[in-house]
């Protein structure tokens, strides 16, 4: 039975950015810059905890990284040679500040701060058990479960306690942690969420994406491996593999939408992957047209790939106002509708009298596509064809991407014909699953026995048990979710 859904209550939606640095006198300032580069991963709140050799210094606030950490007095208070930071995605919860990360705990064996990107799928079950045993929770974030598991573990070293805690959790995660002797970073055994390792002079850096290394001029060393724990102390870097080996299931939606196009994720340029998906789309679902227009900004690389492959001119026929946040994160439907209008405007000279192909990365609820098609028609397009650089989003994500409940996903309710009507386009096509995989360097398409990616939002194939969301009988997990 579906007992609860991650987005029903004030539980957090944890697609976020994390950053850690060890071995530089201005650790907090570096962290603020790193978080600024990861701002696209979460605009609701940001926090930094630094360690100066004696004490942990923390600042957390709602709002953008720049609003909080560009203030010299704030950074000035965050002394330390090591720091971690977090930028958090939006939520509709009303108890916001207490959920802002990194979380900090004064453990019997010393202080520990932790920041999380991802979502735990047995959070409720563990939380119930901990509460029964006397744990007092202060936030609703699932990250706090990890803190309590660490606090009650028996090992003496923090990293051993962290390993003990992680062995009890299910879910998708990249964690960074700060101890009094160093930093730690760890990815879940399937490697669903990203985490990279870099070097800045003598300092080591870990971050959700390489764009956070670039902003500092840090060198990229490598991705933290799925299931790997990297520990940095004054003695240097050590790597541990505390979990049984699992199949690699990196989140394909990072490539489709979430990551910044200038990031290199798991060895693949996000920008190039999006262009290749656009080219696949042109091959699979080409249509006679005069102009290819991206839905900015996330549709731009795919539209370029489409236009190059189709040999049709590319124009910025829709202009985006950059001073408005991502539409999708607005908390109510009413504001979301308003947000779309605030965000985009038609560039009429490149639309009027033309047959237009619009390219966007995804359709979730269908709000954006509907508004954009209407806008392009109002600007005088003679035909409007919508092309989507991902397969239909038919399933909710339980691993950290903020997708709504299944019944709100347009593609879970309608077939292509009905969706075309709904968004008001002359035609609508999505790249196929195999086309997407070909663009990701798998010429055979999706190998269902070993896809190499988590693509549950497109296939319903959930690689990590969804303990909190089913009655535990994993066999009917997907069908339960599909109801």
The answer to whether the CB of 275 falls within 8 A of the CB of 305 is yes
d(CA 381, CA 374): 10
As measured in angstroms, the least distance from the Cβ of 457 to ligand AMP is 9
Q: What is the DSSP string of 47-62?
A: EEEEE-SS-EEEEEEE
- Shorter beta-carbon distance to ligand AMP: residue 243 or 462: 462
471 is annotated as contributing to ligand binding: no
* Residue 45 Cβ vs ligand AMP, minimum distance, rounded to whole Å: 16
- DSSP E strands: which ranges in 224-376? 229-233, 236-240, 250-251, 264-265, 268-269, 291-294, 318-320, 344-346, 355-360
Q: Least Å distance between CB 254 and ligand AMP?
A: 11
Strand, coil or helix: what is 163? helix
**Beta strand 318-320 pairing with 344-346:** antiparallel
- CB distance 373 to 351 below 8 Å: no
CA distances from 261 to 37, 246, 268, 392, 457 (A): 12, 28, 10, 21, 21
Considering the complex, state which of residue 205 and residue 363 has its C-beta at the smaller distance from ligand AMP.
Answer: 363
Nearer Cβ to ligand AMP (98/320): 320
Least distance (Å) from ligand AMP to the CB of residue 365?
3
Which CB, 197 or 273, lies closer to ligand AMP? 273
Select 170 or 368, whichever has its Cβ closest to ligand AMP.
368
Nearest distance from C-beta of residue 90 to ligand AMP, angstroms: 9
Q: What is the DSSP letter of 469?
A: G
Q: How far is the CB of 450 from ligand AMP (least distance, A)?
A: 26
26 CB contacts (<8 Å, ≥6 apart)?
none
Does the annotation place 211 within a ligand binding site? no
Name residue, tokens 């055979």.
444
For residue 263, the SS3 value is: coil
What are 31's two structure tokens? 């962290």
Which CB sits closer to ligand AMP, 279 or 401? 401
Q: Is position 360 annotated in a ligand binding site?
A: yes
C-alpha closest to that of 386 among 254, 289, 314? 289
Q: Is there a binding annotation on residue 397?
A: yes
Catalytic option among 7, 11, 16, 451: 16
| DSSP conformation letters of 70-107 | TSHHHHHH--BSEEEEEEE-----S--GGGPSSEEEEE
Rule CB under 6 A: which residues touch ligand AMP?
257, 295, 298, 326, 328-329, 360-369, 401-403
211 tagged catalytic: no
Q: Confirm or deny that 361 is annotated as ligand binding.
A: yes
Query: Annotated binding site for [4Fe-4S] cluster: which residue ranges?
Result: 251, 397, 454, 457
Query: Annotated binding site: which residue ranges?
Result: 251, 298, 360-361, 397, 454, 457
Active site residues: 16
Query: Annotated binding site for Mg(2+): which residue ranges?
Result: 298, 360-361
């Amino acid at each position: 039975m579906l007992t609860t859904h991650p987005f029903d209550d004030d539980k957090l939606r944890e697609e976020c950015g994390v950053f850690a640095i060890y071995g530089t006198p201005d650790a907090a300032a570096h962290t603020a810059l790193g978080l600024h580069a990861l701002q696209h991963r979460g605009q609701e709140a940001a926090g930094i905890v630094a360690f100066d050799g004696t004490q942990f210094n923390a600042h957390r606030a709602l709002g953008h990284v720049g609003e909080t950490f560009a203030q010299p007095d704030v950074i000035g208070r965050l002394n330390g040679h090591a720091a971690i930071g977090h930028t958090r995605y939006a939520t509709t919860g009303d108890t916001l500040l207490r959920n802002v990360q990194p979380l900090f705990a004064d453990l019997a064996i010393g202080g520990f701060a932790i920041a999380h990107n991802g979502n735990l799928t047995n959070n409720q079950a563990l939380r119930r058990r901990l509460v029964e045993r006397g744990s007092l929770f202060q936030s609703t974030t699932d990250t706090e479960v990890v803190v309590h598991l660490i606090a009650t573990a028996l090992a003496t070293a923090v990293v051993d306690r962290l390993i003990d805690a992680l062995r009890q959790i299910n879910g998708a995660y990249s964690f960074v942690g700060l101890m009094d002797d160093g930093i730690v970073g760890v990815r879940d055994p399937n490697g669903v969420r990203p985490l990279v390792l870099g070097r800045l002079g003598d300092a080591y850096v870990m971050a959700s994406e390489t764009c956070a290394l670039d902003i500092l001029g840090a060198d990229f060393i490598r991705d933290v491996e799925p299931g790997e724990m990297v520990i940095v102390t004054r003695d240097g870097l050590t790597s541990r593999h505390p979990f049984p080996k699992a199949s690699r299931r990196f989140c394909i939606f990072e490539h489709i939408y979430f990551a910044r196009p200038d990031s290199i994720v798991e060895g693949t340029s996000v920008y190039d992957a999006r262009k290749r998906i656009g080219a696949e789309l042109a091959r699979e679902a080409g249509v006679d047209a005069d102009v290819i227009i991206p839905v900015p900004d996330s549709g731009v690389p795919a539209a370029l790939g489409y236009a190059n492959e189709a040999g049709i001119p590319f124009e910025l026929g829709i202009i985006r106002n950059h001073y408005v946040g991502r539409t999708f994160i607005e908390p109510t439907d009413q504001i979301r509708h308003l947000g779309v209008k605030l965000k985009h405007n038609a560039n009429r000279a490149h639309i009027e009298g033309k047959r237009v192909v619009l390219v966007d990365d995804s359709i979730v609820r269908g709000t954006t596509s509907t508004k954009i098609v209407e806008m392009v028609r109002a600007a005088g397009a003679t035909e409007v064809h919508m092309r989507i650089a991902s397969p239909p989003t038919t399933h909710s994500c339980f691993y950290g991407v903020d997708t709504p409940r299944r019944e709100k996903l347009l593609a879970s309710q309608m077939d292509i014909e009905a969706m075309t009507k709904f968004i008001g386009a002359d035609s609508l096509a999505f790249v196929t699953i195999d086309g997407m995989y070909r663009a990701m360097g798998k010429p055979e398409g999706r190998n269902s026995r070993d896809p190499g990616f988590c693509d549950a939002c497109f296939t319903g194939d959930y690689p990590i048990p969804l303990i909190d969301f089913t009655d535990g009988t994993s066999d009917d997990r997907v069908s339960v979710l599909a109801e």
